[in-house]
Structure 1
Amino acid sequence: MRSISRLEKTLFRLQSQQACLAYAFAEIAGRPGPVVELGLGLGRTFDHLRRHLPERDIHVFDRVNRAYEDCQPDPALLHLGEIEETLPALASRLSGKVVLANSDLGSHDRELNLIVAAMSARLLPPIMAAGGIVMSDLPLPLDGFQSVPLPPGALEGSYYLYRAPA
């Protein structure tokens, strides 16, 4: 099997992310609860979330805000700093309420990805609502969570879906 280029890898990840987001939007329709975005980046995914989930509070966590001007989160819901500090600080407010979490923190550094995946897997479970959906660009070792098959349009290994225990 031929290896894929970085361009193809990025394309497949974005296509898979979009397919997973569409799946998640349908899964959480009619369920109350906030959304969490780990990793604002340039704000593209956040912009997609707010356009499709305009009635939801979307809490965004990142070290710094480098989002495009038209992709800025509500300052009251933007939590800057180390996610290992900022997310636990809101745990009591979010505990058991989050219906959708997107962890988009992966990089091209495999060792760092293992650390980041372990951090996400440690921080997300306490805030997730029963049956809530976790999406990630990295495989997450989420104890007790069910791995969800990817929807049509998503390529295996490009994005990952999990469901919190009911």
Structure 2
Amino acid sequence: MSRLDSMLRRFTAQRDGLNWAADQIASLSGDALDMGLGNGRTYDHLREILPNRRVWVIDRILQCHPSCVPPEADFLQGEAEPMINRLVEQGHEIVLAHYDFGFGVKEKDVAEAARLSPIIASVMVPGGIIVSGQPLVGFEELDSPKGIAPGRYMFYRAA
């Protein structure tokens, strides 16, 4: 499979997974959280599919497309752990989270996702959904939604 085809499959799985997750949390209260803004594509999609929810964003730097800049009050710039802890301390609850942090080194990315998992759990509402490009620990792992190849993206429910 070409790298282009692989990227298209990943983007399709991400979009379809986020759409599925939005349906799953429709009856729950809480905000959304995009961990890893990057170019802003996922944030842009989240604000479109969740128009009545606040969408928080965490990233080390703000370097997204100009059309995808989150409101200043919703952008938490810095390392993930203190930014998530800030959300917890302020009483915010997350019902849908997207995890897309990475260094680009698989072993390092997996270790970081495992390290951050309990911190992410601390801000999630029971029954909330996490859509992740990396394996997380301590959550109920869910089957991939129909049409998404197992392992392409991971889906979890918070306890």
TM class, shorter-length: over 0.9
Q: For 1:125 and 1:69, locate their aligned partners in 2 and report how far apart those are by CA, in whole Å.
A: 31
- Could you state the TM-score of these two structures normalised by the residue count of structure 1? 0.88
Deviations 1:35-93 (A, max 9, x none): 11100000000000001111111110000011101011111010001112222122222
Alignment correspondent of 1:123: 119
C-alpha contact 1:16 1:159 (8 A) present in aligned 2: yes
Alignment correspondent of 2:99: 103
Deviations 1:90-142 (A, max 9, x none): 222246x211011012353112212321233132101110100011001111x
C-alpha contact 1:106 1:137 (8 A) present in aligned 2: no
Amino acid at match of 1:159: Y
Q: For 1:10 and 1:120, locate their aligned partners in 2 and report how far apart those are by CA, in whole Å.
A: 26
The 5 Å alignment of 1:5-154 reads 5-94=2-91, 97-141=93-137, 143=138, 145-154=139-148
C-alpha contact 2:84 2:123 (8 A) present in aligned 1: no
- 1:112–1:159 Cα change, 3 Å: same
C-alpha contact 1:19 1:152 (8 A) present in aligned 2: no
Q: For 1:146 and 1:87, locate their aligned partners in 2 and report how far apart those are by CA, in whole Å.
A: 20
Deviation at 1:22? 1.1
- Can you give the 5+ residue segments of structure 2 that lack an aligned partner in the other structure? none
Alignment correspondent of 1:161: 155
Q: How many residues align?
A: 159
- 1:93–1:35 Cα change, 3 Å: same
Q: For 1:149 and 1:93, locate their aligned partners in 2 and report how far apart those are by CA, in whole Å.
A: 32
- Could you state the TM-score of these two structures normalised by the residue count of structure 2? 0.92
